[in-house]
Amino acid sequence: MASPFLSNTTISFSSSLSSSSLPRLVPSISSSPIRFKSTPRRILTVRSKIREIFMPALSSTMTEGKIVSWIKSEGDVLSKGESVVVVESDKADMDVETFYDGILAAIVVGEGETAPVGAAIGILAETEDEVAEAKAKAASKTGAATPSAPPATPSPAPAPPKPTPAPAAAPVAEGPRKTVATPYAKKLAKQHKVDIESVVGTGPFGRITPEDIEAAAGISPSKTNVGPAVVAEAKPAAPLKATAAAAAPSSLPPPVPGSTVVPFTTMQAAVSKNMVESLSVPTFRVGYPVTTDALDALYEKVKPKGVTMTALLAKATAMALVQHPVVNASCKDGKSFTYNSNINIAVAVAINGGLITPVLQDADKLDLYLLSQKWKELVEKARSKQLQPQEYSTGTFTLSNLGMFGVDRFDAILPPGQGAIMAVGASKPTVVADADGFFSVKNKMLVNVTADHRIIYGADLAAFLRTFSKIVENPESLTL
């Protein structure tokens, strides 16, 4: 805690003065002064002392302070605990009081001037006799120790040697030109004590951006989710540049020149997060061909009544799940099975640039027509972005169908919180040989289930798929 107050340049005059007995200035808020316990290691008996009054650190982020006003003037007698000076930090104006009795011999940093934290702002003499000496000291200080505008940052960029960011995107600088840094870049440079002159700007027109400073300071741009707004703009209407500069971490290869960075929308960010999370689950996949002639025939029959293929598949899946509850279960903690009492089929839907999974709740209990109706409502709500959380987050099993695009088979990623997901391909006419050697052409559809192997084993999935296949091949039960 003492570091800002401790000065290496101890006052040369009194050699007996220990550095720990340097005057401490304590910030006090309003009338209730908070005093830090000064812990003098050893109190030395010193006859005469000239003490420097330092710019205190009034907040954790304070790097410099401005003298608002000196409450005391030169020659005033100070007693311990009295307010001496008002300092303006980045947060507030605070009265600063002295811990020592004495005489304010000289003011080094005047009102309205700025000094870095730890710099001497005034000289305190203990007795009248030392005032003159203190004044001389102050005179030597002035000029040397009054950096009124920017604080002296003698340490040029204590940044770990990082690969200089983005040489590829180096600007086309014509001849020597002055450094241009954005307001926030300057703020960051000050905060992280980065010498701005040593930074190579990668922004437009070679300007130094906040990202450049963060890279130079060796900090990850973690603050970016607070700071720059996400410009989710469809058409690049901006006359200068299309999108906000991307806050790309410097460790990534620099973007190909001319590339456009479009930040995720909220939905895309959620998808991204879920997909990464899925990597922590040990999954495996089991595929199964299903003959769909009977299902297709049924579909043709019920289609006029508003039944969709999605509803048929969801219903068939739900009915199969009734018989195989473990496939409808999930593993929340890696230690147990969580059996779900409801069978809620989530169905993945692509919605303008995003992906959402509206949930058909209790798909096993609702009849096909209700289910179809429900599904239509959900899709409509999803399109108008009016889905309530329970309408897309309560799935116990997910269905993903790319058959309508002609995809014959694919492999789905297991969404977090669920035990299994089924990827459905297109139903295609296929030549089939039966046990008696007769060839026939049947519509076959490949389904592929991805499951969490912590709870669902190969045999479970195989059994579930066999049941599912039977239901699809004899779909009459679906309409019951």
Positions marked catalytic: 453
Is 241 a binder of other proteins (CB under 8 A)?
A: yes
Of 58, 67, 116, nearest to 91 by C-alpha is 58
Restricting to residues 24-43, name those near other proteins by CB under 8 A: none
CA distance 39 to 171: 54
Among 71, 170, 230, 432, binds other proteins (CB under 8 A): 230
- Of 84-92, 287-295, 317-325, 406-414, the window that binds other proteins (rule: CB under 8 A) is 84-92
CA distance 136 to 146: 15
Restricting to residues 86-115, name those near other proteins by CB under 8 A: 88, 90-93
CA distance 305 to 217: 66
CB closer to other proteins, 187 vs 365: 187
DSSP state of 226: T
CB of 111 to other proteins, least distance (A): 14
- Of 20-28, 76-84, 178-186, 277-285, the window that binds other proteins (rule: CB under 8 A) is 178-186
Side chain identity, residue 178: K
CB of 229 to other proteins, least distance (A): 3
Instruction: Kindly tell me the burial class for residue 431, based on how many C-beta atoms sit within 10 Å of its own C-beta (0-12, 13-18, 19 or more).
Output: exposed
CB closer to other proteins, 174 vs 436: 174
Among 1, 43, 149, 237, binds other proteins (CB under 8 A): 237
- Of 234-242, 318-326, 335-343, 346-354, the window that binds other proteins (rule: CB under 8 A) is 234-242
- Number of CB atoms found within 10 A of residue 150's CB: 12
Taking CA atoms, 421 is separated from 317, 329, 437, in Å, by 11, 12, 35
- Of 20-28, 31-39, 83-91, 439-447, the window that binds other proteins (rule: CB under 8 A) is 83-91
Restricting to residues 195-214, name those near other proteins by CB under 8 A: 203-205, 207, 210
Among 86, 169, 219, 270, binds other proteins (CB under 8 A): 270
Give the SS3 label for residue 346. Answer: strand
Among 161, 163, 175, 239, binds other proteins (CB under 8 A): 239
CA distance 304 to 137: 99
Among 71, 170, 269, 413, binds other proteins (CB under 8 A): 269
Instruction: Kindly tell me the burial class for residue 435, based on how many C-beta atoms sit within 10 Å of its own C-beta (0-12, 13-18, 19 or more).
Output: exposed
CA distance 57 to 418: 52
CB of 226 to other proteins, least distance (A): 6
Of 124, 107, 125, 106, nearest to 115 by C-alpha is 107
Side chain identity, residue 111: E
- Residues in the site for other proteins, rule: CB under 8 A? 88, 90-93, 178, 180, 182-184, 186-187, 203-205, 207, 210, 225-234, 237-241, 244-245, 263-266, 269-270
